[in-house]
Amino acid sequence: MLKIYGVYKSRATRILWLVEELGIPFELVPVLQAYKLADPMAPDVRINTRSPEFLAVNPMGSIPTIDDDGLVLNESLAQTLYVAKKHGGPLAPKEVVEDAQMMQWTLFAATSIETDALKISMANTEGRLTTEAGQAEAKALARILSRAFGVLEHHFATHSHLVGERFTVADINVAEIVRYAQAFQPLFDAHPKTAEWLNRMQARPGFKSMWEKRLAEVE
């Protein structure tokens, strides 16, 4: 059985959304981020990303990690691409061209969007978006992101999804990265087709089920 190490309030949302869509059984092994604990090495502390038993699985100490009958993968985007292809169906590439397109969109989002989008997410989490300085920071980040968002906007002007005109693992990977910038609405107002696509992705039952579990998670 597929084993997923992590928690819902982490990048594990990517693989956890995918398994909801696929309807495959899995075991979730709760591993909390060490920075959320006062002393991650204290006696009897819950398993976290600095716990020796987890570092034995993933020496980098990052979540999520998956163990699929002995195959251990530590990178979340590699995990989703692997699991989708293993289980096949419409979420997976139909042939090598779609495989390349899904890989390209995934890497595009990881390299051109995620870093700056995460900064917007952190500003929101820390309550800074309600301040003048936080708004200025978000506007500067949005200007940087506008080029990559422009690429998405151009694509969605003529396409319903990222690959094959159907919902695939590429939509999950990119949507979960674009989501980090969602707290800054002006960026999405300037890219309405991208916003509409993201809304459709987040309206899927698989995303909603995953998100409900994320909201209910006790850290």
User: Tell me, what DSSP letter sits at residue 188?
Assistant: H
Strand residues in the chain grouped as ranges (E): 2-6, 26-30, 65-68, 71-73
For residue 218, what pLDDT band results from cuts at 50, 70 and 90? confident
Tally of CB atoms within 10 A around 199: 12
At residue 206, φ and ψ (nearest 5 deg) are -65, -45
Structural domains in the chain, CATH included, are: 2-88 (3.40.30.10), 96-207 (1.20.1050.10)
128-160 pLDDT, tens digit per residue, is 999 999 999 999 999 999 999 999 999 999 999
Strand order in the sheet with 2-6: 26-30, 2-6, 65-68, 71-73
Quote the CA–CA distance of 15 and 212 in Å, as a whole number: 15
219 pLDDT higher than 90: no
Q: What is the mean pLDDT of the chain?
A: 97
41-95 pLDDT, tens digit per residue, is 999 999 999 999 999 999 999 999 999 999 999 999 999 999 999 999 999 999 9
For residue 36, what pLDDT band results from cuts at 50, 70 and 90? very high
103-112 pLDDT, tens digit per residue, is 999 999 999 9
